[in-house]
């Protein structure tokens, strides 16, 4: 029987045939696809003379089947994994790493790429072609093409080890999250927790075989409301400690040794390639360009944010003392008293807003917003196979009614899904022989689940998360280019958050909220005074939140911009780095690093600063929408053309300037955040 992963996909729009795929198909399919991809490479090497078309373009298109299978497999390993898939990942990752090294360390292939690169001035390339040529050449050089045989072998070893360690890190965090459950027997211990959250906790307990009790897990929709609303201080502390000691307990799921191994291998790899540090290596291909530029940027923000953040924390401490006589404000207290203070100051809390943000309405809201801005429409298509019953697949059409993309939406926590929210793709956009091959895009979130009596009602923070990830999805769906490696989100890492972060801004605008924010029981539109309260509270504790992001950015840079071999204790190192941004007493035994998946499992190493960097861009860019109208057609068309559709076809600073007419002004962010 044919392996469905190796056959032509016959599902609608050539989507992944999830209904036909079993775990047994992956390993043989990957091996066969690697063999096919190697055939593509040999063909490129055998051509008479290297030209742009038969060398650079052909390389971009090599391994089509392998790319498709890898995307399916690793997306499942994040969103719907199990022990078997994780075991397969440990077998498949080394094969893919070896294949990648085989290409990038192939001297004959590099010689051909280098020859085309040396002739670039005479080739009359378009800006997109010139970008592809430069990116291809650099990817060889930055991945060891100039190394000698012994050095190249060392690089291969390092890459293999790093691939395995990254998987191990993620598996440990997921296992820690899945194994933890805290049961409560007495309802009085749940004082302050809203009815909807209590009902969800009761449902979790029943699912875990303890009916009649309430259960809390480390999934965001369970953990965050408990920390925010539970009057029971011991409950808050218990959950806080569980969450913030993930993979830091010295047991089989501990990540501290893994972190040290990852850091040292990254540093060795950078040195091998001629860079002073991993951060120097990474930032060469970023808008920021150097560790110094990143640190200067973070320090300048720190200078502006710290005085405001300290005042905000003191205000919460004073409020807690006045309200409950609390003498020592701890980390598990901050969210609780902060929320009560917000309610007092702005007459606003998430439970007041939740009824207006039924998940289905919020989804309709992002669709309508994308429709008004970019002319898109979304059509559920049950014929498109999905990997889990909770996933919905849509066909996306453009303003002329033509097929634009496939969009998968996956919203609720489950055991096989890692925490957080992300956008990904199963197929990128590209143009082959004049045919525009449209993308298959997915967003994965962990939102509040429906209960027996209530639908899924989102917090306002979950609504902004939905808009954020959907902004990334628009970047993928609206891609228009020739080469897959330059389209959609294939951009500089400190530019990739612009489309996602700018899209969050619409959540604060009445014109947008009026499209979808209506009471799930009465159908009443969100009242204008509530919208005003949302806007008034938008800057609530912006200093504190800015400091939190700066602290993670500084920790990331501290790990990656120096030789990490002297780090003996991850806990001590983290504490030392975080000292300048700490606003509350350090809690012994807790660590952010051991579950800092962004930098040890995802692609954000030396790049966590990019969230704040892109906030400068998004605040500045959204000012243009505010000046012209949040649904202004011409502004939206310009943003679509110059940012969303352009992908990585040219340098981001050029694309941004084309949209905005100038470079971004940092004052826009400081003003929006209330820091000036």
pLDDT at 150: 96
CB crowding 312-331: b at 16 or more within 10 Å, else e? bbebbbebbeeeeebeebeb
Distance, C-alpha 522 to centroid of its chain: 35
H/E stretch holding 440: strand 440-444
Q: How is the chain split into domains, by residue range?
A: 12-104+106-142, 180-244
- In whole angstroms, how far apart are CA 25 and each of 32, 33, 39, 164? 11, 12, 21, 21
What is the average pLDDT across 505-524? 97
Cα-based distances in Å from 345 to 417, 533, 633 = 37, 10, 37
Q: By the 8 A CB rule, do 291 and 277 touch?
A: yes
Q: pLDDT band at residue 350, thresholds of 50, 70 and 90?
A: confident
Question: Which residues is 406 bridged to in the sheet?
Answer: 395, 440
- How would you classify the pairing of strands 403-410 and 440-444? parallel
Q: Which residues pair with 441 in a beta bridge?
A: 407, 425
The whole-angstrom separation of Cα 242 and Cα 177 is 9
Asked if 421 and 443 count as a contact pair (C-beta separation under 8 A), the reply is yes
Q: How far from chain centre, in Å, is Cα 526? A: 30
pLDDT per residue over 31-58, tens digit each? 999 999 999 999 999 999 999 999 999 9
| Helices and strands, counts by H and E, the chain | 27, 9
User: What tokens were used for 560?
Assistant: 């990656």
**C-beta neighbour count of 564 within 10 angstroms:** 21
Give the per-residue pLDDT at 91: 97
pLDDT surpassing 80 at residue 222? yes
- Secondary structure element (H or E) that encloses residue 619, with its range: helix 610-628
In the predicted model, what is the mean pLDDT of residues 566-581? 97
Strands 182-184 and 214-216: antiparallel
Chain-centre distance of CA 276, in angstroms?
28
Question: Two tokens at 227?
Answer: 């920390």
Q: Is pLDDT above 90 for 474?
A: yes
Q: What is the pLDDT of residues 515-541, one digit of tens each?
A: 999 999 999 999 999 999 999 999 999
Evaluate whether 546 touches 306 at the Cβ level (below 8 Å): no
524: annotated active-site residue: no
Q: Is the model's pLDDT at 157 over the cut of 90?
A: yes
Q: Could you say which of 1.10.3720.10, 3.30.230.10, 1.20.1050.40, 3.40.50.720 is the CATH number of the domain covering 12-104+106-142?
A: 1.20.1050.40
Mean pLDDT of the chain: 97
What CA–CA distance (Å, rounded) separates 518 from 671?
30
- Confidence band of 463 (pLDDT split at 50, 70, 90): very high
Whole-angstrom Cα distance, residue 393 to residue 577? 44
Report DSSP state, residue 4: T
Query: Mean pLDDT, to the nearest integer, of 450-456?
Result: 94
Residues 221-233: what's their mean pLDDT? Answer: 97
pLDDT in tens, 299-323: 999 999 999 999 999 999 999 999 9
Distance CA(318)–CA(339), nearest Å, equals 14
In this structure, what token pair is assigned to residue 326? 């609390």
405 three-state secondary structure: strand
Sign of the Cα pseudo-torsion (598, 599, 600, 605, in order):
positive
- Tokens 């800057």, residue? 539
Task: Tell me the three state secondary structure of residue 397.
Answer: strand
Over residues 598-628, the pLDDT tens digits come to: 999 988 999 999 999 999 999 999 999 999 9
Cβ contact 273:616 at 8 Å: no
**Residue 349 binned pLDDT confidence (cut-offs 50, 70, 90):** confident
User: Stretch 267-296: mean pLDDT, rounded?
Assistant: 97
The secondary structure of residue 219, as a DSSP letter, is S
The CA distance from 632 to 187, in Å, is 51
Q: Active-site residue among 312, 339, 469, 623?
A: 469
**Residues 550/578, Cβ–Cβ less than 8 Å:** no
pLDDT at residue 674, as a whole number = 87
**Residue among 568, 371, 389, 578 at smallest CA distance from 477:** 371
The mean per-residue pLDDT over the stretch 90-118 comes to: 97
Question: What is the tens place of the pLDDT at every residue in 256-281?
Answer: 999 999 999 999 999 999 999 999 99
| Predicted local distance difference test score (pLDDT) of residue 563 | 98
Give the per-residue pLDDT at 676: 81
Instruction: Count how many residues are written for the chain.
Output: 676
Contacts of 550 (CB under 8 A, 6+ apart): 298, 301, 302, 305, 581, 612
Token match 């291969």: residue?
A: 156
pLDDT (mean) for 155-171: 97
| Residue 64 exposed, middle or buried by CB count within 10 Å (0-12, 13-18, 19+) | middle
- Torsion sign across C-alpha atoms 34, 40, 41, 46: positive
Q: Are 356 and 460 in contact (CB under 8 A)?
A: no
Q: Would you place residue 585 in the very low, low, confident or very high pLDDT band (cuts 50, 70, 90)?
A: very high
> What's residue 602's pLDDT?
87
pLDDT band at 194 (very low <50, low <70, confident <90, very high): very high
Q: Is the pLDDT of residue 1 over 80?
A: no
Under 8 Å between Cβ of 140 and 104:
yes
At 461, the pLDDT band (50, 70, 90 cuts) reads very high
Provide the token pair at 138.
């650099």
Closest listed residue to residue 291, CA positions, set 303, 272, 277, 311: 277
| Rg of the chain taking only CA atoms, in angstroms | 25
Q: Mean pLDDT, to the nearest integer, of 396-411?
A: 98
């Amino acid at each position: 029987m044919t392996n469905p992963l190796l056959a032509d996909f016959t599902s609608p729009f050539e989507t992944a045939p999830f209904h036909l795929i079993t775990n047994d198909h992956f390993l043989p399919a990957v091996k066969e696809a690697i063999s096919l991809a190697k055939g593509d490479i040999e063909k490129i090497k055998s051509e008479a003379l290297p030209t742009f078309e038969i060398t650079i373009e052909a390389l971009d298109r090599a391994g089509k089947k392998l790319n498709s299978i890898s995307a399916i497999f690793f997306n499942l390993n994040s969103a719907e994994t199990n022990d078997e898939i994780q075991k397969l990942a440990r077998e498949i990752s080394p094969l893919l790493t070896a294949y990648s090294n085989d290409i990038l360390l192939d001297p004959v292939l590099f010689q051909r790429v280098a020859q085309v690169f040396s002739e670039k001035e005479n080739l009359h390339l378009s800006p997109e072609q010139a970008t592809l040529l430069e990116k291809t050449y650099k990817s060889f050089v930055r991945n060891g093409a100039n190394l000698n045989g012994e050095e190249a072998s060392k690089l291969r070893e390092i890459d293999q080890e790093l691939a395995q360690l990254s998987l191990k890190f993620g598996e440990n965090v997921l296992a820690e999250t899945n194994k933890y459950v805290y049961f409560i027997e007495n309802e009085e211990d749940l004082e302050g927790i809203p009815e909807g959250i209590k009902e969800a906790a009761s449902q979790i307990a029943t699912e875990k075989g303890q009916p009649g009790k309430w259960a809390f897990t480390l999934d965001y929709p369970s953990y965050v409301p408990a920390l925010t609303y539970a009057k029971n201080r011991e409950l808050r502390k218990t959950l806080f400690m569980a969450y913030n000691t993930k993979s830091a307990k010295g047991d089989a799921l501990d990540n501290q040794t893994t972190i040290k191994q990852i850091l040292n291998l990254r540093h060795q790899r950078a040195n091998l390639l001629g860079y002073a540090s991993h951060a120097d290596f990474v930032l060469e291909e970023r808008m920021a360009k150097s560790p110094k530029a990143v640190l200067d940027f973070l320090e300048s923000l720190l200078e502006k944010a710290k005085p405001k953040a300290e005042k905000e924390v003191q205000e919460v401490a004073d409020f807690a003392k006045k309200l409950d006589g609390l003498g020592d404000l701890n980390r598990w207290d901050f969210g609780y008293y902060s929320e009560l203070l917000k309610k007092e100051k702005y007459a606003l809390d998430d439970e007041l807003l939740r009824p207006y943000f039924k998940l289905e309405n919020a989804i309709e809201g992002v669709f309508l917003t994308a429709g008004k801005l970019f002319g898109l429409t979304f059509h559920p298509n049950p014929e498109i196979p999905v990997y889990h019953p909770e996933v919905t697949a849509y066909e996306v059409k453009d303003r002329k009614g033509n097929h634009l993309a496939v969009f998968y939406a996956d919203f609720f926590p489950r055991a096989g899904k890692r925490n957080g929210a992300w956008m990904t793709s199963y197929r990128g956009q590209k143009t082959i022989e004049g045919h525009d091959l449209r993308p298959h895009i997915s967003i994965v979130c962990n939102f509040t689940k429906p209960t027996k009596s209530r639908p899924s009602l989102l917090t306002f923070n979950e609504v902004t998360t939905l808009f954020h990830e959907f902004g990334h999805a628009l970047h993928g769906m609206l891609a228009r280019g020739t080469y897959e490696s330059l389209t959609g989100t294939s951009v500089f890492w400190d530019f990739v958050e612009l489309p996602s972060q700018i899209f969050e801004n619409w959540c604060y605008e009445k014109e947008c909220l009026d499209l979808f924010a209506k009471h799930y029981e009465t159908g009443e539109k969100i009242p204008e005074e509530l919208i005003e309260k949302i806007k008034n509270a938008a800057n609530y504790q912006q200093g504190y939140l800015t400091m939190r992001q700066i602290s993670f950015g500084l920790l990331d840079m501290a790990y990656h911009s120096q030789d990490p071999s002297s780090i003996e204790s991850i806990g001590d190192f983290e504490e030392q780095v975080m000292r300048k941004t700490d606003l509350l007493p350090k809690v012994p035994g807790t660590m952010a690093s051991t579950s800092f998946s962004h930098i040890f499992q995802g692609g954000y190493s030396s790049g966590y600063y990019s969230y704040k960097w892109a906030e400068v861009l998004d605040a500045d860019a959204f000012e243009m929408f505010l000046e012209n109208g949040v649904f202004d057609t011409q502004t939206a068309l310009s943003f679509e053309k110059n940012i969303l559709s352009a992908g990585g076809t040219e340098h981001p600073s050029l694309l941004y300037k084309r949209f905005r007419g100038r470079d971004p002004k940092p004052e826009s962010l400081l003003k929006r955040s209330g820091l000036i």
